[in-house]
A and B are shown apart, each in its own frame.
Chain A
Amino acid sequence: QSVLTQPPSASGTPGQRVTISCSGSSSNIGSNTVNWYQQLPGTAPKLLIYTGNQRPSGVPDRFSGSKSGTSASLAISGLQSEDEADYYCAAWDDSLNGYVFGTGTKVTVL
């Protein structure tokens, strides 16, 4: 059972903005940086956002991350069909002394 909670699904039409929330606690998001991963169907996850709001080279600036208190968010602006994927937040948890992933959110482009 994950300690980071995400909505199971999100959707939008091409060009729309979609936001995914990630709710945690003081032992994880509240005290450590948040990373986001994108998992396209049938593939391995890919690092999408690191240390909360930074994008690795090659990740479009349509993707952005933010954090407030014990929650984090991933925003996808200008939604495109190739953004259909599962998205996971993750952070180190000081209480568990381990890395925890969110429950995952499936993004559908209508």
Chain B
Amino acid sequence: QVQLQESGPGLVKPSETLSLMCTVSGGSISSYYWSWIRQPPGKGLEWIGFISYTGSTNYIPSLKSRVTISIDTSKNQFSLKLSSVTAADTAVYYCARAGSSFGADALDIWGQGTMVTVSS
């Protein structure tokens, strides 16, 4: 059974870079599309972007200038970097899988999420 687990600092200072890792267990990362989604406290979901197992990426336009998603197939991990963060980037960050038999964009497996607070 495939599981995803986010990891990374829970507190990031303004103007610095937020870095998170998602570890895939119980299956190979060498297939599917691997996504990041965030949810500010008390608010809705926002898709950040995805990376394919071949390394091709797609980011939401509003964050494109600050976001980098990368993949390490040898470690079964993919990561998120968000630069120049502000308080508006405070959110629970989820990693998720897409591209299964449920459809190219259906996010069928999610991590539990990790809270990241941007504060000095």
Mark A residues whose CB is within 8 Å of B.
2, 32-33, 35, 37, 39, 43-47, 50-51, 54, 56, 88, 90-92, 96-104
A56 to B103, CA, bound (A): 11
Q: What is the minimal beta-carbon distance from A46 to any residue of chain B, in angstroms? A: 7
Q: What is the minimal beta-carbon distance from A31 to any residue of chain B, in angstroms? A: 13
A56 to B100, CA, bound (A): 11
Q: Secondary structure of the B side of the interface?
A: loop
Given A35-B107, A37-B107, A44-B113, A101 and B45 touching (CB < 8 A)?
Answer: yes
Residues of A within 8 A of B105 (CB): 32-33, 35, 90-92, 99
Q: What is the minimal beta-carbon distance from A62 to any residue of chain B, in angstroms? A: 19
Interface residue tally on B, bucketed by range: 20 to 34
- CB pair A47 B94 closer than 8 Å: no
Given A44-B113, A56-B108, A98-B60, A50 and B47 touching (CB < 8 A)?
Answer: no
- CB pair B112 A44 closer than 8 Å: yes
**Does B61 sit at the interface, judged by CB under 8 A?**
yes
* Partner of A35 from B44, B46, B94, B103 at Cβ < 8 Å: B103
